[in-house]
């Protein structure tokens, strides 16, 4: 609830959203995160944080709804750019943990449909992911970085790395 409270400081709202990363995938929580992700009244940084937490529990149904109904109508370049880059990285990932989502995104041509969000990484939020997996050795690794801007400034609000 503090995420939607206008009297709560922005950094507290971001921290509140980040706490969901340890939560189980309960539908009411996922619905709340999805609501924040697509709320045009919310700051883009909060929307991106909600999206990241929602994507932890993504399935084909969620992706289908997002691609068909939500992303094509997205007006925020910060949010659109981040989601586009994240989906592109997911589609091209070698990680076995992301294989199902990767295949779904490849089959639904994310590149062609949302090219309008392929924006300058120096000004717009981006997800950068590098993964490699060797099937023969059953060994691989992944590095993921998020650079998130607010819609109010072209100075990054946050950056994170996940190994």
pLDDT in tens, 39-49: 999 999 999 99
Q: Residue 43's domain spans which residues?
A: 2-162
Q: What is the mean pLDDT of the chain?
A: 89
* Separation CA 34–CA 47 (nearest Å): 9
112 touches 148 (CB < 8 A):
no
Residue 121's pLDDT is 81
Q: Summarize the confidence of residues 103-117 as an average pLDDT.
A: 79
pTM, to two decimals: 0.90
The Cα 138–Cα 82 span in angstroms is 31
pLDDT at 50 over 90: yes
Number of domains present in the structure of the chain: 1
Among candidate residues 110, 106, 142, 145, the one with its CA nearest the CA of residue 125:
145
Q: What is the pLDDT of residue 112?
A: 67
Q: The CATH number of the domain where 104 resides is what?
A: 1.25.10.20
31 vs 66: which has the higher pLDDT: 31
Structural contact between residues 144 and 162, judged by C-beta atoms closer than 8 angstroms: yes
Q: Could you give the percent of the chain with pLDDT greater than 70?
A: 98
**What pLDDT was estimated at residue 111?**
62
What is the arithmetic mean of pLDDT over 124-138? 92
pLDDT at 5: 92
pLDDT reported for residue 127: 95
| 126-134 β-sheet, strand order | 126-134, 139-149, 156-162
Q: What is the pLDDT confidence band of residue 114, given thresholds at 50, 70 and 90?
A: confident
């Amino acid at each position: 609830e503090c995420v939607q409270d206008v009297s709560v400081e922005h950094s507290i709202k971001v921290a509140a959203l980040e706490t969901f990363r340890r939560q189980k995938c309960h539908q009411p929580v996922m619905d709340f995160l999805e609501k924040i992700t697509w709320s045009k009244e919310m700051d883009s940084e909060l929307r991106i944080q909600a999206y990241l937490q929602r994507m932890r529990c993504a399935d084909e149904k969620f992706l289908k709804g997002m691609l068909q109904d939500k992303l094509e109508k997205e007006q925020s370049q910060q949010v659109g750019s981040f989601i586009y880059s994240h989906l592109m990285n997911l589609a091209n990932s070698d990680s076995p943990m992301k294989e199902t989502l990767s295949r779904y995104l490849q089959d639904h041509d994310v590149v062609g449909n949302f090219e309008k969000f392929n924006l300058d990484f120096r000004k717009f939020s981006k997800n950068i992911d590098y993964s490699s997996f060797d099937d023969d050795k059953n060994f691989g690794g992944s590095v993921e970085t998020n650079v998130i801007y607010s819609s109010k400034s072209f100075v990054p609000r946050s950056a994170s790395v996940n190994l």
